[in-house]
Structure 1
């Protein structure tokens, strides 16, 4: 199983890069988390939110289409399904058994395009709270690590 995280936006602060790297390196080689940063669409003074989301959505779906193997598109969205960490661990176990490479999508500041949301196999919400997108990267990779530790009966989750 190879996990891809498709994230709109780049130039993350050092604390985000360090936090992400810390949890990513803890995961075993067979999981191989891969961060794919996609450019933010141009936001001028008179930009259209729909046009920006559409441009970013095209990038996301293009990156997804180019990802390797049997894939599953999972969009992070405030209206998505809320998961418990144990449920995420169950999903990870199923992905490993089925040979699925999940692509987890973090949209831009304006959210995800309808084309992304419609094409998604699943939509998850990490929280009902509004979070800064850089923090979502760290939270997501930490939860993936935590779910993996549950599967390994590692004491990290306790």
Structure 2
């Protein structure tokens, strides 16, 4: 499909995170088309369960039938940079589906949202702030695309 989608919750508040995300998205755009959906987080929910449910509903509404949903989750698989590049190649070469990377809200995903995941991707065993997770994901995808293109950004 040669396109990547992103679904994130909440606007970036820190100038450094917004600048870093723009930097890696600019680099990524040299290799592939992308689109981003930024969903409103459900801060008004009365408790964590209600918040996850409300954000899960918004996430499911934002997903298309051809999205290969890759949820970022500490319980997911960590591929390493070259392994992620290989998976990225597989995902973007699928003519019927586009990889759609999702970073959920601070309390995780609802069971309904998790049921929609095709894969889970881990950035490591750490719990990361949303903004930092977004920067790391974008950098690793840029790195993966540069590996696939034979660009010298990645060093062994």
Q: TM-score if structure 2 supplies the norm length?
A: 0.90
Moved over 4 A (4+): none
**1:72 paired to 2:68:** yes
- 1:24, CA displacement in angstroms? 0.8
Q: 1:49 to 1:73 in 2, by over 3 A?
A: same
**1:123 paired to 2:124:** no
Could you say which residue in structure 1 is the equivalent of 2:43?
42
- Give CA deviations for 1:106-144 in whole Å, capped at 9, x if unaligned: 000111111111110001111101111001111111000
Structure 1 SS opposite 2:63? helix
Could you say which residue in structure 2 is the equivalent of 1:88?
84
Q: 1:142 to 1:15 in 2, by over 3 A?
A: same
Unaligned runs of 5+ in 1: none
Equivalences for 1:1-150 in 2 at 5 Å? Answer: 1-28=2-29, 31-43=32-44, 47-65=46-64, 70-99=66-95, 100-150=97-147
- 1:11, CA displacement in angstroms? 4.1
Question: How far apart, in 1, do the equivalents of 2:30 and 2:57 lie?
Answer: 30
Q: TM-score if structure 1 supplies the norm length?
A: 0.89
Question: How far apart, in 1, do the equivalents of 2:61 and 2:103 lie?
Answer: 14
Unaligned runs of 5+ in 2: none
Asked if the contact 2:106–2:130 (Cα under 8 Å) also holds between the matched residues in 1, the reply is yes
Between the two proteins, the alignment pairs up a number of residues equal to: 153
Asked if the contact 1:2–1:30 (Cα under 8 Å) also holds between the matched residues in 2, the reply is no
- 1:149, CA displacement in angstroms? 0.9
